Amino acid sequence: MKEKEEIKKDVDTADNEETQTAEETTEIPVEGEKTDLEKANEKIAELEDKYLRQVAEFDNYRRRVMKEKAELILNGGEKVLTEILPIVDDLERAEQQMEQMTDVDAVKKGVELIIDKFIKFLNSQGVKEIDTKDQDFDVNYHEAITMVPSQTDEQKGKVIDCVTKGYTLNDKVIRYAKVVVAN
């Protein structure tokens, strides 16, 4: 029995100590000080506000980029077209002169100058002609429209004639050269 009483005293003592430590650790906030819960709620509100601002900023950015992209698509060819207009003017002047000219050589020379001007313009834009003369047939650049028997073994698989010129734009084929190939 003494053992039971001693155990009971030990338990009562432990309970009293726990109650005292719980009372000591539970602090009553002084006026003006914020509790942990209030601090956490403020932090949550701050993060929510920051999140909403970021979402709104991204949405505005997305709209602005879409608008700029639409404008680029709509007006993207403007620079190229303004550079073509002087060539069109030259062609119109040549057409007017052809009606009055009797010297065919002068007309031919004028048209050649306009063609050279146009080719220089195309080159400045990154457009290049695909070389076909005496080249091996290459499916990456050529489209065979006809095959003819070769006269020599050296001609086999080579381009004999170019029916329509091909072009690349910055090393990407925009039109394949239509060629005649020796078989």
96 and 135: one domain? no
Q: Are 162 and 121 members of one domain?
A: no
Return d(Cα 123, Cα 131) in angstroms, integer.
Answer: 14
Q: What is the DSSP string of 78-99?
A: HHHHHHHHHHHHHHHHHHHHHH
- Confirm whether 141 is domain-assigned: yes
For residues 93 and 23, the model is more confident at 93
Q: What confidence tens digit (pLDDT) does each residue in 110-166 have?
A: 899 999 999 999 999 899 999 998 889 999 999 999 999 988 888 888 999 999 999
How high is the pLDDT of residue 154?
A: 84
DSSP-assigned letters across all residues of 28-51: PPPTTPPPHHHHHHHHHHHHHHHH
118 with 133, same domain: the answer is no
Residue 158 burial class via C-beta count within 10 angstroms: exposed 0-12, middle 13-18, buried 19 and up:
middle
Q: Which two tokens stand for residue 51?
A: 């999140």
Number of domains in the chain: 2
- Residue 181 β-bridge partners: 147, 159
In a domain, 49, yes or no: no
Domain assignment of residue 81, given as a range: 74-125
